[in-house]
Structure 1
């Protein structure tokens, strides 16, 4: 059977139940049916509405500095690990081996095999995405225990993606290995042909960009929120948790956008594509043009209040605006919102959500930090520790949608 009449499996039934609970009443069954068929394309660096732009000169000292991760480290980090060296998991005799984060449920023997041989002995199942930089495909690795492990293999062969960029992306992923709001990396290597490869956590629900496009089609141009307030609250909180983890370590993501947010199997958003991650003090432009903060386009990038983490928060504001009402390409309305957040905010946006958006899109000197955003009244009542379980892992106990400024409940 096909379409909305076919029988759902157990996971899809769970999605259907949860989506109804979150307010997706129209076409919720169709959404659940198609949820696991969405291809994940955001794991390609170039999968965006504008090409990646990074004016950093790799000859300069722009690599991730040594970071103290002691309070977050476990057996996946060695006390002798030195982040001043570039890690590599296999195939490169010149690079030191480095311990990656083990997926849950794998034995030490299976994980050691996955690190050492996962990329060279994997079997491709299907292509997930492709672009000018390379491809991403779904792969299966037969482990010594007899278990078949599924992951995403990212292969980059573009001459624009050089060794320093690979090292920066790998180190960014390694730095965030214990954060459930950043995609996991299991292995990496540089092949003899000069291709850069990563074995990454598979996100079967595609990207947030995919999801927002589907929601916009269902909305059919109606003047209303793109999704229920509690879903906006949940997704925004997860992304902020990922940024908080990164910013606490003196780093900035520098390319926050829906296309770089992968949706895990349980619906949890995860930041991806860390190849632009760098120190919060870096003042060179990087990221996707339509998400870049206004101060990045000044003649001098030394303006008051400018740091890369503040630029992350502006990109977070644009991402949140797309979650609320304006997916990318919505007839210039998003640009109007950038120019005048307070004046161009739709009346159906609740007052505290509007206040949060205005704080994220404010000039750099007045823009909310990640800590201030997480403490905003829009997130009152949110169980922050439970976010990592995902919406299918715990009962969502979020407040009811507040009244909008127009005086009606959403």
Structure 2
């Protein structure tokens, strides 16, 4: 939706004949910026995500992100308030208007807990986990996978209701890889779009004949659960030390002991979530070897 956008001299923008005041910059990445804006008509705050599209492929990726937001109307998936594309000097900019969540990301909550030397209560962890699972189920039921699930891509409402965001890496949940060229294409795509310390094992070394499915999200879910329990991902330190995450993810995850009081059930849940996709990855490798 949205074909018109203007940047007015008094620090405001207009999208679809609705005016928004610029408040402040919230964040910026390599090719995107996020600003806090306020709707003139409704007085509500929004997050305006601006994506710089340097080529046709970049524009298509931004369009896919918009379409994913529009596809889902779910209490655990961030909705879409509006969008438009503008052309500047032969390049496109995607402007995506999203609801503003003041509490911020799950990662920012975990950082505050770590700074205070405290942990997230187990009951709270399970509540957030249930919401994330609900959002993922909605995606998987429609035949899509998130592909970049991590604490920074989960927003938390004031009541701890999680919202899955950053849908730009989503694609069809089942990908059949046929041949070396396709395998390298998927592997290169994953290297760019799937955060390394939350990336499933099958995306590091994609086999020439295999199937990638939504179990990659289940692996990432296990990493997110681990981060809620221990305030860091299971492979964050591996990456920070410069060691090989690709090798580390081929081994069972270890639960820090002693670190905090964690029930055996919660610890086993982390192991189970990651073993689902790790077992599938190892089985896929065996099938590829047998077929050669």
The TM-score with structure 2 as length reference comes to: 0.75
Alignment pair present for 1:291 and 2:198:
yes
Aligned position for 2:64: 168
Q: 1:264 to 1:117 in 2, by over 3 A?
A: farther
The answer to whether the 8 A contact 2:15-2:84 is kept is no
- Cα deviation, residue 117, structure 1: 2.5
Write out per-residue CA displacement over residues 361-390 of structure 1, whole angstroms, 9 at most, x where no aligned residue.
1152746xxxxxxxxxxxxxxxxxxxxxxx
The answer to whether the 8 A contact 1:125-1:137 is kept is yes
2:270 alignment partner, SS class: helix
- The correspondence for 1:261, drawn from 151, 154, 160, is 154
Write out per-residue CA displacement over residues 122-172 of structure 1, whole angstroms, 9 at most, x where no aligned residue.
1101111112212111111212xxx32321111112527712101110111
Distance, in Å, in 2 between the alignment partners of 1:253 and 1:205 is 22
Q: 1:183 to 1:301 in 2, by over 3 A?
A: farther
Tell me, which stretches of 5 or more residues in structure 2 are unaligned?
Answer: 5-13, 178-185, 281-292
Distance, in Å, in 1 between the alignment partners of 2:17 and 2:274 is 45
**Structure having the larger proportion of residues in strand:** 2
The TM-score with structure 1 as length reference comes to: 0.55
Tell me, which stretches of 5 or more residues in structure 1 are unaligned?
Answer: 1-88, 93-113, 221-225, 368-410
Aligned position for 2:3: 91
Q: How does 1:153-302 map to 2 (within 5 A)?
A: 153-159=48-54, 162-176=58-72, 178-193=73-88, 194-219=92-117, 226-282=119-175, 284=186, 285=190, 286-300=193-207, 302=209
What do you get for the CA RMSD once the two structures are aligned?
A: 2.7
The answer to whether the 8 A contact 2:201-2:249 is kept is no
- Cα deviation, residue 266, structure 1: 3.3
Number of aligned residues: 245
2:194 alignment partner, SS class: strand
Q: How does 1:3-402 map to 2 (within 5 A)?
A: 89-91=1-3, 116-118=16-18, 121-143=19-41, 147-159=42-54, 162-176=58-72, 178-193=73-88, 194-219=92-117, 226-282=119-175, 284=186, 285=190, 286-300=193-207, 302-303=209-210, 306-328=211-233, 331-332=237-238, 338=249, 340-341=251-252, 343-346=254-257, 348-362=261-275, 364=277, 366=279
The answer to whether the 8 A contact 1:341-1:357 is kept is no
1:136 alignment partner, SS class: strand
- Cα deviation, residue 346, structure 1: 3.2
The answer to whether the 8 A contact 1:253-1:274 is kept is yes
Q: 1:181 to 1:289 in 2, by over 3 A?
A: same
Distance, in Å, in 2 between the alignment partners of 1:326 and 1:333 is 16
Moved more, 238-247 or 126-135: 126-135
Q: Which has the higher contact order (CA 8 A, sep 6+)?
A: 1
**Structure having the larger proportion of residues in helix:** 2
